[in-house]
Copies of this chain bind each other. A is one copy, B any other.
């Protein structure tokens, strides 16, 4: 008896950015679970299938419902926007797996916002980079602050997920202020809104300017490293690492 669950990264939203592997997993599935907005993005792929939608803060419930469906002997998928591992459901599904010993998990990767957003902005993460979420729902703010600070120490490019939400409108400003303790205000940055969906928009600006930008939860923010520069309106971080005067000035 099959008791299989795919944990599927569907990419940013556009069907052209979902891998054939992800599409096939969804087509094979009898049941598809996900945050309501993501199920809507799937369009035809969820038609004539049982769907399980639970709101944003009820991920564990969604995961358990998915296991319960699989236990009945069917194939279930739980979908995540972007990748299934990066802040996705893969880790929670593994942590629950021992409670459902007959079930088997398969993780299907997807295009995460760090790479899809970077493609819109140019090439901001062409060298070593960090991905940091500013959401303190599951992570203490001190840890987030420590990571931002360490990322600046390491001269990493940074992709920031969940830069803001209604409940925490000033988090990006706070993050920029932490970075500005170690990084010059002219550091090149950028952000992208609605990646791979209708109304994609982006902006390139300095770290100083970024501090006062208004962004929402559908935005991914990029902080350049000391080598990042603008070419024809795009944010570029080269693969060559020059220890130049700019770098020396900053560190």
Specify which of B19, B119, B147 is in contact with A108 (CB 8 Å cutoff).
B119
Confirm or deny: A112 has a beta carbon within 8 angstroms of a beta carbon on chain B. Answer: yes
Q: When A107-B123, A243-B140 are in contact, do A115 and B85 touch as well, CB less than 8 Å? A: yes
Confirm or deny: A109 has a beta carbon within 8 angstroms of a beta carbon on chain B. Answer: yes
Segment 198-222 of A: residues with Cβ below 8 Å from B: none
Q: When A91-B238, A130-B129, A153-B153 are in contact, do A15 and B20 touch as well, CB less than 8 Å? A: yes
Segment 93-149 of A: residues with Cβ below 8 Å from B: 93-95, 97-98, 107-112, 115-116, 118-120, 122-133, 138-140, 143, 146-147, 149
Q: When A109-B118, A239-B91 are in contact, do A125 and B86 touch as well, CB less than 8 Å? A: yes
Residue contact B109 to A119, C-beta cutoff 8 Å: yes
Residue contact B138 to A146, C-beta cutoff 8 Å: no
Select from chain B the residue with minimum beta-carbon distance to A128. Answer: B132
Residue-wise, chain A 137-177 has the 8 Å CB interface mask toward B (1 for contact) of: 01110010011011101111000000000000000000000
The number of residues on chain A lying at the interface, defined by a beta carbon within 8 Å of a beta carbon of chain B, is 72
Shortest CB-to-CB span from A101 to chain B, Å, is: 9
Confirm or deny: A11 has a beta carbon within 8 angstroms of a beta carbon on chain B. Answer: yes
Confirm or deny: A70 has a beta carbon within 8 angstroms of a beta carbon on chain B. Answer: no
Chain B residues near A154: list those with CB within 8 A: 130, 146-147, 149-151, 154
Query: Which A residues are within 8 Å of any B CB, using their own CB?
Result: 9, 11, 14-21, 24, 59, 83-88, 90-95, 97-98, 107-112, 115-116, 118-120, 122-133, 138-140, 143, 146-147, 149-151, 153-156, 231-232, 234, 236-241, 243
- 14 A-B residue contacts at CB 8 Å? A17-B109, A85-B126, A86-B118, A86-B126, A90-B126, A95-B231, A98-B232, A107-B119, A107-B120, A108-B119, A128-B133, A140-B243, A147-B154, A150-B153
